[in-house]
Structure 1
Amino acid sequence: MHRWEGGVTLVRPALRWPLAMLAATVLVCGAFLVVLATGADGDDTPAVPDTGSADAGFARDMVVHHQQAVEMSLIVRDRTDDEDVRRLAYDVINTQANQRGMLLGWLDAWELPKSSGEPPMAWMGHEMPFEARDGALMPGMATNTQLRQLRAADGEDAEVLYLRLMTAHHQGGVQMSQMAAGAVETQVVRRLAETTLRGQQSEIKLMRDMLEERGGIMKP
């Protein structure tokens, strides 16, 4: 079962959604939220970014970045019975799936493609000290090998690995959001970047505390 509150889809703990169903719901939610967001500035003719803008680039990159966070959270939800870790996973699923829907909704409203031939983070205007490898396309993203390890883990091993991977994932998201907050032109995207920045910084502290409780050590 699922229900709507204020335009946001809430996932009940007992529900096990396939990724395809979650993606479909996110698109519906995003289409609704984009109407709210584009009217939030009180401007009848909001600026429309072009395809090479920081706004469009950040939106595209965060769609990919957020999708992996949702994927990892869906995995760990089924690999542990720990209520604290499962609650964190539900929060990540709901928050980042809905934000992903907003980003896709904006790209659709701007009539811009959802993908680009440019490399990730090209919108920042300078080279990032990051080399894509094994499926990790942006800072903080888990590699394909790490995702396989998470799928194979159980119990506390899964919890510790998830917390490590998600902490690194959030650190990459914070880095990207900091850059976007000073580079984008539209108020809606800037607000989302600032909201993401604050939310993920708070969750990083929470996850470090949770790791310490489980005897895990955050690798540099």
Structure 2
Amino acid sequence: MKTFVKLVLPSALLLPFADEGSAQVVNKYDIPDWANFAKYEEANQAAPEGAVVFMGDSVTEGWALEHPDFFKENGYLCRGISGQTTSQMLVRFRADVIALKPRAVVILAGINDIAQNTGYIAVENTFGNIVSMSEIALANGVRPILCAVPPAQSIPWNPKIEAPAELVIRLNGMLREYAETQGLPYVDYASALQDEHGGVSKSYAPDEIHPASEGYRVMETVVQPVIEKLTAPSAE
């Protein structure tokens, strides 16, 4: 997923050396924020407890923009950040999920790892990052819902990636097996969005990665029953 990064050099690098004893005030937002803690910092302070958090990348962030009513009407919180990899999500997981004291967290991540947005990472390590998020959630009384990465025949912003479809299938296989072994919910977006060629139909995602409105509707029909079952009073 494409992400636009504005490089801002710390003010200390742009100014001549100050005399000993002089003080410089550095705005925290002038310092690169690799995991982008700042994005939801203000929203987190006002977030209600007991919600369901959606953790992810641009697919999740775009979901809240495309279908805001789905989040508002259900009391869901979007914590997706465009372009992020699982390593970045893991770093901010405590601030953007655990600190909010939600009932559950829906984790959809991995395509940007395959795209090598922050450098090469083996599928096994991507899987490990998602497992770590799941374990952190469970240790804090938050119920994790693991999601399959939608199919990807190619990576539009990094066409040099070879056989991304196979990598997605491998990752989803690991996630499904882990969910079954641990007794965790697994949301199979891949099967719901896949076309006859093994990719995502362009009616669901014009660039075959980022869902359009119809694609999100399909995803909602798949994930909503899982959330309702997991958060029903009888399941508490």
When the two structures are superposed, what TM-score results if normalisation uses the length of structure 2? 0.30
Greater C-alpha radius of gyration: 2
Structure that is richer in helix per residue: 1
Structure that is richer in strand per residue: 2
Which structure's relative contact order is higher, taking Cα pairs within 8 Å and 6+ residues apart?
A: 1
